[in-house]
Amino acid sequence: MKMQQYAVGLALALALGATGQANAETFRCPLSDRVASYQPTPCAVPELPARAAAPTKDGPAASAKAAAPTATAQAAPPKPRPAAVPVAPGADDDAPFSALTPRKREVLDITARLERCRSEQPEFADKSAELYKAWRRRHGATLADYGHMLAVKVRVAQVDATLCTDDWLREIEPLTRAPDPRFSSVEKTWETFVRALRAADRPAVMGCVTGPVARSMGERLARLGDADLRRMAANIRELKVLWGDDYDKEALVVHGDRVDGIVFRRNVNEEWKLREMKPPAVNPAVAMPRRSSPDS
Tens digits of per-residue pLDDT, 124-162? 999 999 999 999 999 999 999 999 999 988 888 877 778
**Facing residues of 276 across strands?**
263
Pick the CATH number of 181-280 from 3.90.930, 2.60.40, 3.10.450, 2.60.120: 3.10.450
Specify the pTM.
Answer: 0.52
Task: Inform me whether the pLDDT recorded for 86 exceeds 50.
Answer: no
Question: What's the DSSP call for residue 247?
Answer: S
Task: Inform me whether the pLDDT recorded for 110 exceeds 90.
Answer: yes
Cα-based distances in Å from 228 to 106, 198, 221: 37, 10, 9
Q: How many residues does the chain have?
A: 296
- Identity (one letter) of the amino acid at 63? S
Residue 81's pLDDT band (cuts 50, 70, 90): very low
Give pLDDT, residue 91. 41
Give pLDDT, residue 225. 95
Give ∠ CA 177-179-182 in degrees, rounded to 5.
125
The Cα–Cα gap between 200 and 108 comes to 37
Percent of the chain as helix, strand, coil, to the nearest 5: 50, 15, 35
The long-range contacts involving 147-150, CB below 8 angstroms and separated by at least 24 positions, are 149/96, 149/97, 149/100, 149/108, 150/108, 150/111, 150/112
Residue 202's pLDDT band (cuts 50, 70, 90): very high
Taking residues 103-114, report their average pLDDT. Answer: 91
Tens digits of per-residue pLDDT, 44-66? 655 544 555 555 555 555 444 44
